[in-house]
Amino acid sequence: MTFAELKEIVLPDGGRVLGIEKKAMLGQGRLKEVTVPDEAEFIDDWAFAGCTALEEVRMPRCRLGRGVFKDCRALKHIYVEGAGSDVPALLAEAARQDVTYLLDIDKAGSAEWYELWDAWLLRFVNADDAEGYSGQVPCGEEDYGSSDVAAFESGRRREKARRCLLRLMNPEGLSDEMRSLCENYISRHTAGCGAGEEAWQLLLERYGEDEQWYTAFADAGGINSENSMMIIDSIPESLARMKSFFIRRAGAGTDDILSGLGL
């Protein structure tokens, strides 16, 4: 196996590793998992940048350089020694978006860090949906893929919904005010809403097989008495588990829904 074919790296592979040098794994497109040894003191600039398949990182509380995980679009979790269970997903999100001030590993999981994360989310949710349209460039998750302003704005709303759901699924340090903001955004962008259905579209197209995501969506008010039938009808038969879940969440009207579906 060549170096470029590696899918998982556990460091060190013999010997002692005190740090990961600049651009050490730059552009390793098949790399999916990395474990950095406890004695490492730093991960230098762009060490894993462009590792587009990288999903999981385990690392100690060490110093991060610039753009360490830039363009790591698949990154889901960064597990840090001694951090809480909600840190990995939120830290990975900050890394995916290259929010440098949230990549202070020593502070990850502290009350201050959660406040900074939520302030970042608040600014994003409250920003105009067209913000960044005129200067858009291809940049992974933030590239909404269209020169059409309406499509761009819709993409921004989907991204806002995704980050709100992510925070609701990782609620450590989440204030009542921020919880309400996230829930309100989901409930205002679900099926049948005049403000747009991006929260529901995101769920159906991207997370229809992940119960954690559609549970968070339902708990946030994404399904209600007015749109339950619309939601259930729009779920394809290939997502039987999801359809069953929303039928159960529909509550009092379940018998009528089942009858209408011929179940």
pLDDT digits (tens, 9 = 90+) for 6-21: 455 665 555 577 899 9
Which band of pLDDT confidence, cut at 50, 70 and 90, is reported for residue 134? confident
One domain, residues 31 and 69: yes
Cβ proximity of 170 and 131 under 8 Å: no
pLDDT above 50 for 252: no
Which band of pLDDT confidence, cut at 50, 70 and 90, is reported for residue 135? low
CA–CA distance, 227 with 234 (Å, rounded to integer): 11
pLDDT above 90 for 154: yes
One domain, residues 152 and 123: yes
CA–CA distance, 40 with 11 (Å, rounded to integer): 10
pLDDT above 50 for 263: no
One domain, residues 138 and 243: yes
Main-chain dihedrals φ then ψ at residue 9, nearest 5 degrees = -125, 125
Return the beta strands (E) in 4-97 as ranges.
Answer: 8-10, 19-20, 33-35, 42-43, 56-59, 63-64, 77-80
| Residue 66 domain flag | yes
| Residue 258 domain flag | no
CA–CA distance, 64 with 84 (Å, rounded to integer): 19
- With a CB cutoff of 8 Å and minimum separation 6, the contacts of 191 are 197, 200, 222, 227, 230, 231, 234
Average per-residue pLDDT in the chain?
A: 88
* Residue 88 belongs to domain spanning: 7-105
Structure tokens at 127: 């920003």
How high is the pLDDT of residue 112?
Answer: 97
One domain, residues 170 and 96: no
Last residue of a domain, one of 105, 124, 151: 105
Using CA atoms of 176, 177, 178, 181 in order, give the dihedral in degrees to the nearest 10: 120
One domain, residues 139 and 215: yes
Which has the closest alpha carbon to 169: 235, 232, 92, 238? 92
Q: How many domains does the chain have?
A: 2
pLDDT digits (tens, 9 = 90+) for 80-112: 988 999 999 999 999 999 999 999 999 999 999
| pLDDT (mean) for 43-63 | 95
pLDDT above 90 for 194: no
From 72-76, 148-152, 229-233, the region with the lowest mean pLDDT: 148-152
Which band of pLDDT confidence, cut at 50, 70 and 90, is reported for residue 146? low
How high is the pLDDT of residue 132?
Answer: 84
